[in-house]
C-alpha cells in the first residue's frame, strides 16, 4: 500500500485491513512515497512520514513499514517499486492496494500495462465513492479485486486542516501519530490544499 501518508490515518489502516482480510494477504507493506509523481510536494519530510507509518503499524502483526521509496532518488513510481520487490522475491504475488478514487486515476500511471502485468490490484471502496465500471485492463493484466468493508471518512487533508486550526485529531489517527504530530509541530501552518488522502 503506497501513498504520501501525510499523515497516515485510520482510514488507511482500515482499508489495508479490509484488503488483507478479504484477499488473505500474508502481510501489508506500507510504502510512503519519497517524491509523489502525481501530487504537490508533501507537507512533511519523508522521514517524518515514515516515522508516523512505523508508529501507526507497530501494533499489527501483518502490517510492516517500508522505507523503500524514501531511500530511492527521484520520483516514486509504483511500477518501479513492484519490479524491485519482485526482483528480491520472484515467487511472491504482489497486490497493490488503492482506494476507489485512486483506481480511476491509474490509466495515467507510469507504465500502466507493465504494472498490471506484475501485480494484482485491490480496489478498496472509499466513503462517498460509487463503484464505477472497471476500466479496460491491458492485455496480460493479473486481475483487479473489488474490496468491500467498513470505510472511514477520514482524509489526510482534513487531519492537516484540523491541526492547523488547533483542533483534536484523536480517533482520526492512531494516538502515537497524534502525539508525534504535536511533538514535531507538523502541519501547524499547512493549508488544506494538496497532499495525499
Residue 142 lies in a domain: yes
Residue 172 lies in a domain: no
R_g over Cα of the chain: 16
pLDDT of residue 154: 96
Residue 119 lies in a domain: yes
The C-alpha cell that represents 32 in the structure block: 510512503
Residue 171 lies in a domain: no
Helix, strand or coil for residue 162? helix
Sheet holding 63-65, edge to edge: 2-3, 28-32, 63-65
Burial of 13 (0-12, 13-18, 19+ CB in 10 A): buried
Going by C-alpha positions, the residue among 4, 12, 3, 8 that lies closest to residue 52 is: 8
Residue 34 lies in a domain: yes
Is residue 93 within 8 Å of residue 115, measured between CB atoms?
no
CA–CA gap between residue 11 and residue 30 (Å, rounded): 13
pLDDT of residue 41: 86
Residue 107 lies in a domain: yes
Cite the DSSP H helix spans in 4-118.
Answer: 10-23, 46-57, 68-71, 78-88, 100-103, 112-118
Residue 186 lies in a domain: no
Residue 194 in this model has a pLDDT that exceeds 90: no
Residues spanned by the domain of 115 = 2-152
Mean pLDDT of the chain: 90
Instruction: Tell me how many domains the chain contains.
Output: 1
CA–CA gap between residue 68 and residue 51 (Å, rounded): 13
pLDDT of residue 178: 98
Mean predicted confidence (pLDDT) in 123-144: 78
**What is the tens place of the pLDDT at every residue in 70-114?**
999 899 999 999 999 999 999 999 999 999 888 988 888 999 999
Residue 13 in this model has a pLDDT that exceeds 80: yes
Residue 170 lies in a domain: no
Q: Which CATH number characterizes residue 9's domain?
A: 3.40.50.620
Does pTM top 0.85 for this prediction? Answer: yes
Amino acid at each position: 500500500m503506497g501513498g504520501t501518508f501525510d499523515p497516515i490515518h485510520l482510514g488507511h489502516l482500515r482499508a489495508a485491513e479490509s484488503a488483507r482480510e478479504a484477499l488473505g494477504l500474508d502481510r501489508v507493506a506500507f510504502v510512503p512515497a519519497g517524491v509523489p509523481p502525481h501530487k504537490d510536494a508533501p507537507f512533511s519530510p519523508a522521514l517524518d512520514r515514515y516515522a508516523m507509518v512505523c508508529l501507526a503499524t507497530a501494533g499489527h502483526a501483518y502490517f510492516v513499514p517500508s522505507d523503500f521509496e524514501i531511500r530511492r532518488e527521484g520520483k516514486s513510481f509504483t511500477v518501479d517499486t513492484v519490479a524491485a520487490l519482485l526482483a528480491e522475491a520472484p515467487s511472491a504475488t504482489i497486490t497493490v492496494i488503492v482506494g476507489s478514487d485512486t483506481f480511476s486515476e491509474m490509466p495515467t500511471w507510469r507504465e500502466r500495462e507493465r504494472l498490471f502485468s506484475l501485480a494484482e490490484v485491490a480496489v478498496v471502496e472509499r466513503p462517498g465513492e460509487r463503484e464505477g465500471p472497471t476500466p479496460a485492463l491491458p492485455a496480460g493484466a493479473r486481475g483487479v479485486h473489488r474490496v468491500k468493508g467498513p470505510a472511514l471518512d477520514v482524509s489526510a487533508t482534513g487531519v492537516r486542516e484540523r491541526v492547523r486550526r488547533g483542533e483534536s485529531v484523536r480517533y482520526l489517527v492512531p494516538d502515537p501519530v497524534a502525539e508525534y504530530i504535536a511533538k514535531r509541530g507538523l502541519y501547524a501552518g499547512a493549508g488544506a490544499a494538496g497532499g495525499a488522502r
